[in-house]
Amino acid sequence: MTEKSVSDLLRHARRIVVKVGSSLVTNEGRGLDEAAIGEWCRQMAVLAQGDDTLGLVGRREVIMVSSGAIAEGMKRLGWAKRPQEVNELQAAAAVGQMGLAQMYETKLREQGLRSAQVLLTHADLADRERYLNARSTLLTLLQYKVLPVINENDTVVTDEIKVGDNDTLGALVANLVEADLLVILTDQKGLYTADPRGNPAAEFVEVGRAGDPALERMAGGAGSSIGKGGMLTKILAARRAAGSGASTVIAWGREENALLRLATGERIGTLLAAPTQKTQARKQWMVDHLQLRGALVVDAGAAAKLRGEGKSLLPIGMTQVDGVFSRGDVIAIRDPAGAELGRGLANYSSVEARLLCRKPSSEIRAVLGYSAEPEMVHRDNLVLTR
């Protein structure tokens, strides 16, 4: 990538997920680093509120994914070594989460920002309906200018459902909200071609392509005694985030004004660029989806709006529902003759959709007893196939 294309990618990122690791949050296990957390919160507040004097054009939407609950709990419980038993890890997380959430809430409030704590498990992101519920919650928080602080729900996870590390969780969240950029703040400057601590010939990698197998061969080495992640988990997280079109920056968490400088287009750390654009990645996934759960038949008016105006599909335009599907499943949309117009993600199940056919959006709550979305398929979740 050219210097200009790198700068443009960073400057144009409007929705940013910031992930910070345990060793930084807890100052290598010595307890929550109030000064460091305060500094990240200050920078995130500037991004969220905008500052023309710094060259930041417009506001950014920011989500924080923070490790540190288990590490803080270990300190409060007097444990020097990370336990292996799941129940002990859960107990440490329960103790530490209190202090972690309080610290972020205090520091963000000092910057004039409201915050929210969101705890997720792998099961929340693997189940399509819970995935969409989590997505709706996060997007609503951003809409109301609340900064979500996310951590894995370590108090209830087991080995079978555990995400495993917050690098992976950061990538899953980036996919969940369709972020433009994932920033992983760590205790290293970025990626090297080899471990610089043992190989003086190791070269720094400024730019790479997320998903390149060569990057995984370069990365290696375990994380600290406090956290679980190493550089490899960050490379794998970048590959995962790229699946939805998000690029990733791996940078030193104590670099002065790192988040603000990245947002102005300055090259810091290692940039792993997504090979496809965000919208392209999402819509290609829907086009390639082979297991369609069902279909909606629409009237001529709805078909014309979908084809010519790129509108969302409203219930009033639906005439027939085929198949059995759940909220979040990929379904086909067909014109009155039965030809496929496109594909999209259903906001309501097939049972609910049958009740909503020919109904205006204003009646959804009266028909179902609740209203998730005014559209059956939102235009952002719809791709035309003909």
Q: What is the mean pLDDT of the chain?
A: 87
CA distance 313 to 319: 12
> Which helix (H) or strand (E) segment is 185 a member of?
strand 181-186
DSSP state letter for 310: -
Helices 86-110 and 69-77 pack at an angle, to 10 degrees, of 110
Of 28, 44, 72, 71, nearest to 187 by C-alpha is: 28
CA distance 362 to 374: 8
For 138, phi and psi rounded to 5 degrees? Answer: -65, -45
Of 231, 239, 236, 238, nearest to 194 by C-alpha is: 231
Report the pLDDT value the prediction gives residue 225, as an integer from 0 to 100.
42
Quick: pLDDT tens for 117-144.
999 887 787 777 788 888 889 999 999 9
Burial of 362 from C-beta contacts in 10 A (0-12 / 13-18 / 19+): exposed
Quick: pLDDT tens for 72-124.
898 899 998 888 888 888 898 899 999 999 999 999 999 999 999 999 887 78
Report the pLDDT value the prediction gives residue 187, as an integer from 0 to 100.
87
Report the pLDDT value the prediction gives residue 122, as an integer from 0 to 100.
74
User: Region 206-223: what's the mean pLDDT?
Assistant: 80
Quick: pLDDT tens for 248-265.
999 999 999 999 999 999
Q: Beta partners for 342?
A: 333, 384
Domains in the chain, CATH or no CATH each? 3-278 (3.40.1160.10), 289-384 (2.30.130.10)
Quick: pLDDT tens for 155-210.
676 654 455 578 988 998 998 898 999 999 998 899 998 877 778 888 999 999 99
Residue 70 confidence class, pLDDT cut points 50, 70, 90: confident
pTM exceeds 0.85, yes or no: no
Report the pLDDT value the prediction gives residue 8, as an integer from 0 to 100.
87
Specify whether the CB–CB gap between 252 and 190 falls below 8 A: yes
CA distance 194 to 224: 18
Q: Which of 77-86, 190-199, 283-292, 365-374 is the least confident region?
A: 283-292
User: Region 363-379: what's the mean pLDDT?
Assistant: 94
CA distance 72 to 258: 24
